[in-house]
Amino acid sequence: MESQAPTDQENIPMRYRKLGSSDLEVSEISLGSWLTFSGGVEAEQTRACTEAAFDAGINFFDTANVYGRGAAETAWGEILSKHPRDSYILATKVFGEMSDTDSGLSGEQIAKQIDASLTRLQTDYVDLYQAHRFDASVPIEETVEAFQKVVEQGKARYLGFSEWTPEQIQAAIDIAGPDLFVSSQPQYSMLWQAPEAEVFPLCEANGISQIVWSPLAQGVLTGKYKPGQPIPSDSRFASETMNVSKDRLITEPILEAVQRLVPIAEGSGMNLPTMALAWVLRRSELASAITGASRPEQVHANASASGVELSGDVLRAIDEALGDVAVKGPALAPNAQTGVKHR
C-alpha cells in the first residue's frame, strides 16, 4: 500500500492555512490547553510544551476561560507574554461556568468575560474570540451584538463559535452576514465524522473555516489503548482530571478498530497519530487541527503531520478498518444545545 507520506516527516516544514475570511494564516497543527494546561500537567511542562510549539512552527494557540476556571489562560499569559505579540495567534472562548452566577452568552457576560480573559492572558486583544457553545436561553441577537462590540472595541480581531448546529449558524448569519464569524470549532476525527454532513458545507459556503478539536480522539487514535488490556498508568484516561469521554471512547469495538489502523499507518511509513492528523487535514475546509500535549516530544510529533498527504488507497483502507464504529451523519456534540431564541 502506497502513500504520499515522506519517510522522514521531521523534515517537513509547518504549513499554514488561511482562517476563513480573516487575514490570519494559522499553522495546520495548533496547540490546545483543554485538559492539560488547565491543571492536568505541571507549570514547567506547560512551558516546555508551549516553547516546543514555537520551535515546531506552531503559531496558533487555543484556550478558553473555563479551562481550569482561568488556570489555562493564566498559564499562557505568563508564557506567551514573553514572546512578541505578533509572533502568535491567540484564541480563547466564552460560555462555560466561571462561578455560580457567571456563565452563558448574555451581553453582560460576554463583556465581563472578555476583560477577565485579557487580564489573565496578559494581552490587549485576542486574535479569535469564540462562543464555546450556543446559549439557547439568550436571544441570539443579544449574543451577536455583544460579540460585535468586542471587535469594535479592539478586544478581539475576529469571532468564531464551537459546536453550533446548522440552524444556529444560519440564524447568526441571517442577522449579521457571513463575515461575522471566521471559524467553527467542532469535534472531528476518524471516530467522530459528524460535522462532515452539514456543518462543513454550510460553513464553507459562508467562508468559515474549521479548527477542529480532539483530532486524536483524546489519545485513542495514538493506539496506546489496547483491547482487553489495562489503561496505561501514564495516559490521559488514567488521570482523574483528564479522563473526560472515557466511557464513550474506551470500548472494545473502538479499540479493536483502532488496532486495525496501526498496520495501515506503518505500511505507509508513518505512525498512527500522524496518519490520524493527516486524515483530518485532508479536508480543505480545515484551517487547523488542535492538539493537546503533556510533553514537548508530543508537540513535535504532532507538528510533523503537517503536509503529510494520504493516498486514495490508504483512505479506503482506513474506511474499511473503521467499519461501523465511526459516528457519521448529523449528531449533537457533547454539551451542545439545540434551538434558537429570538427577541
Residues serving a catalytic function are: 67
Q: Which three cell numbers stand for residue 162?
A: 464551537
Q: CB atoms < 10 A from the CB of 178, how many?
A: 17
Helix axes 252-267, 272-281, angle to 10 degrees: 90
Eight-state DSSP code of residue 232: P
Whether the CB-CB separation of 202 and 229 falls below 8 Å is answered with no
Phi-psi region of 228 (alpha: psi -120 to 50; beta: other; left: phi over 0): left
Question: How far is 243 from 295, CA to CA, in rounded Å?
Answer: 17
Give the angle 30-293-198 at the CA atoms, nearest 5°: 50
- Give buried/exposed letters for 18-45 (b at 16+ CB in 10 A, else e): ebbbbebebbbbbbbbbbbbbbbbeeeb
48 Cβ neighbours under 8 A, 6+ residues apart: 295, 296
Q: CB atoms < 10 A from the CB of 317, how many?
A: 21
Helix (H/G/I), strand (E/B), else coil: 327:
strand
Best CA proximity match to 229, nearest among 210, 257, 255: 255
